[in-house]
Amino acid sequence: MTFWQKVKRELGRETQPVDTVVRLIILERAIRGTLVAILGGALLTNSSGVVGLVRGWVAELDVNPERRLIPRLMVTVLRPIGGFSSRTVLLIGIGAVLFGALELTEAIGLARRRRWAEYLTVIAGCIGIPFELTEVLRRQTPVRHLFGLRGGVATETERS
């Protein structure tokens, strides 16, 4: 038996019966995959309309004098999105559809108890680790600030 035949046999076999944790993972992947795919489809079909809608929300929340914490937070989050070009929204939509398809593939494979789905879930989960490490090493976070890394609160008060 060749190496590739062994790999094919291993990836195609069924795994042990699904337990509660795997059922929760299947449910989470299915829900998230469906929602992200729907969002991506909406962005693909009307990318310029989405940007216009977000810009309208930002303008409405910005002008409203009765702003409280939540609207202020929404303006802070939505303002950069309103600045995206239609092309950027289109690319985000493509990425969302692809990510949703990946999540749904994982959910279906895990529900069918396929070994390849377990490997796919682990690989997909590990893909973001280098990006997360880069962000942690490059940027200051509230946790770093609070616990004294790169100077901490004491350093900030000394500089003032």
Taking the C-alpha atoms of residue 87 and residue 64, their distance in angstroms, rounded to an integer, is: 30
Q: Which amino acid is at 27?
A: L
- pLDDT of 71 reads 62
Structure tokens at 30: 């299915």
Taking the C-alpha atoms of residue 105 and residue 33, their distance in angstroms, rounded to an integer, is: 9
Per-residue pLDDT of the chain (160 residues; tens, 9 = 90+): 888 888 878 777 777 777 888 899 999 999 999 999 988 888 888 766 777 777 777 677 666 656 565 666 666 766 677 677 878 888 888 999 999 999 999 999 999 888 888 889 999 889 888 888 887 777 766 666 655 555 555 555 555 5
Alpha helices in the chain (DSSP H): 3-12, 20-45, 47-63, 69-82, 86-111, 115-127, 129-138, 142-146, 152-159
By C-alpha distance, which of 49, 40, 42 is closest to 96?
Answer: 40
- pLDDT of 104 reads 95
Q: How far apart are the first and last CA of the chain?
A: 71
